[in-house]
Amino acid sequence: MNFEGDLDSNPPQRRGLPSPLGDSTCGDCSSKNADAASTSGAEAFGLPRGVSSADCAYKLQQYATIPLSSPGEAAIHLGNTKSCIAGYGGRWDPYTAYQFCIPSWVAFTDNGTLVGEAALQHAAISPGTAVSGFKRLFGIRINNEMVKREAELVPYKFTEQIGRCGIQVETEEGHVMNFLPERVAGILIAELKKMAEARLGHKIGYAVVTVPGHFNDARNWFRNEAARLHGGLSAVNVVDEQVAAAAAYRLHEKRGDGKVVLVIHLGGRTTHATKFKFKDGSGRLLQERHDAYLGGDDFTNRVVDYFVELIKEKHHRDVRRDEGALRKLRAYCEMAKKALSNREGALVNVGSVLDEGSSFYEDFTRAKFEELNGDLMARVIEMVEMVVLGGAPASQLRSHQDAIDEIILVGGSVRIPMVAQLIEDYFHGRGLIRDEEAVIRGAALLSRPESARYVEECYNGGVSGPLWLAS
């Protein structure tokens, strides 16, 4: 997916904060875990504020960060459904922003590897050879409950590899392939890297890569195996997704010091809620919850289930017995879900699903969509409340809600009106930031620390570049 023009050509809904990219232009903007609490955390970009110039020189030399003089910095965000690369630079204007996104699918065939849209299309023909949703499997063991649950959802198998969960696929001609999830991630990273290099006209060796805040040991495997070994990057800096989302709105700068930030990520397959604050340049985690099996795909599944029963009742056909018809129905239901983000009603082409040679449609309303998914939306609010309270009694809820300074809603499912409305209502009508792509844009800013003005002391307090980079 390429975006032409300014990065804010479709500006996100937000209140009270400046545009993160100002007037800059974009040339080719193409199981629940227990909560984690901490009084300290890793610096958002590897260095705290208030350090001496000698400390800057020493830490920048020792820390595996991005060389500031490199022309090839970029930011990469891998999602369970969509992956993106973004950054700045070009043959003529080093401050032009770019962004490219592809579906997070990789297919293994006897004729080679398919990536992105081609892999997604191949999945419809040969489901057992195409992999997605692999991000949930980083660093976990084969006997993990999540592996058992994932095995019920995918058409390929899992095996144990070097003590961790590996993926096994069989090609159409019967060749068996085994690999770790990090290899799949690396293939996507390499493809994104190639797309950006074609745009820039030079190689990219260094990148900021975002990871979910609940990644622990998996962070190192993601950095070393996915991004460097398989992705072809020389050096990688890992940044928490919630930190990147906040950086898109410059909350990592001094203006955000001490503010409590709540980032709610509702993606295609997973949901995270993270409460943290910046203090002297460090992102301090306060509370975190995530559900690896709650997202936009689940909302679509409810619509599919509804139409399966409707077709059975009206047309006496069980679509679940016909894989081709079921795939068509799912595609139409996904389109209807997206259409309802901007309209009160949509039409689903049932005639095409049944292949009866004529087109006839069934109405589907936003009200019906919300009714079908009400309990899933309630699970999102339940997760948010657990993070907001952080173990405090329910009687203190209002004070804990008021203690949150900024609320950022990110991920592909933020377009669903009911999601934002429920969260706004939960916070008694407070405004929130709705920005589907805040994570990748914030990471792009952090990929150029001299532009992001992350650690002023390390850049002599100066800023080079266009005016919008200054605070």
* pLDDT at residue 15 in the model: 36
The residues facing 223 across adjacent strands are none
The last residue of a domain, from among 372, 391, 424: 372
DSSP 8-state assignment for residue 9:
S
* pLDDT at residue 94 in the model: 66
Terminal-residue alpha carbon distance, the chain: 31
| Domain span including residue 334 | 296-372
Q: Check whether residue 141 and residue 97 sit in a common domain.
A: no
Q: Which tokens go with 123? A: 């999945």
Confidence (pTM)? 0.80
DSSP 181-213: HHHHHHHHHHHHHHHHHHHHTS---EEEEEE-T
> Beta-carbon neighbour count of residue 13 at 10 Å?
12
Q: Check whether residue 92 and residue 195 sit in a common domain.
A: yes
Those residues whose C-beta lies under 8 Å from the C-beta of residue 57, and which sit 6 or more positions away, are none
* pLDDT at residue 255 in the model: 80
* pLDDT at residue 91 in the model: 64
Beta strands in 104-183 (DSSP E): 106-109, 112-115, 130-131, 157-161, 164-170, 176-179
Q: Check whether residue 222 and residue 142 sit in a common domain.
A: no
Q: Which tokens go with 192? A: 């994104």
* pLDDT at residue 35 in the model: 36
* pLDDT at residue 71 in the model: 43
Domain membership of residue 354 (yes or no) is yes
Q: Check whether residue 143 and residue 203 sit in a common domain.
A: no
Domain membership of residue 102 (yes or no) is yes
* pLDDT at residue 294 in the model: 92
Q: Check whether residue 115 and residue 199 sit in a common domain.
A: yes
> Beta-carbon neighbour count of residue 163 at 10 Å?
8
The residues facing 109 across adjacent strands are 112
* pLDDT at residue 4 in the model: 27
Domains identified in the chain, total number = 3
Give the up-direction half-sphere exposure of residue 427: CA atoms within 13 A in the CB hemisphere: 23
Q: Check whether residue 49 and residue 168 sit in a common domain.
A: no
Percentage helix, strand, coil for the chain under 3-state DSSP, each rounded to 5: 40, 25, 40
Walking along the chain (471 residues) 10 residues at a time, the average pLDDT comes out as: 30 37 36 34 45 57 42 82 88 77 94 94 90 87 89 90 90 90 94 92 88 78 88 86 89 84 93 87 83 92 95 90 88 94 92 75 94 96 95 94 95 91 94 92 79 44 28 25
Q: Check whether residue 354 and residue 468 sit in a common domain.
A: no
Query: Could you give the CA distance from residue 422 to residue 377 in angstroms, rounded to a whole number?
Result: 8
User: What CATH number does residue 176 fall under?
Assistant: 3.30.30.30
* pLDDT at residue 447 in the model: 81
The last residue of a domain, from among 143, 167, 183: 183
Q: Check whether residue 112 and residue 130 sit in a common domain.
A: no
Domain membership of residue 224 (yes or no) is yes
The last residue of a domain, from among 372, 393, 424: 372
Using the Cα atoms of residue 136, residue 153, residue 181 and residue 413 in order, give the sign of their dihedral: negative
User: What CATH number does residue 350 fall under?
Assistant: 3.90.640.10
* pLDDT at residue 273 in the model: 94
Q: Check whether residue 16 and residue 98 sit in a common domain.
A: yes
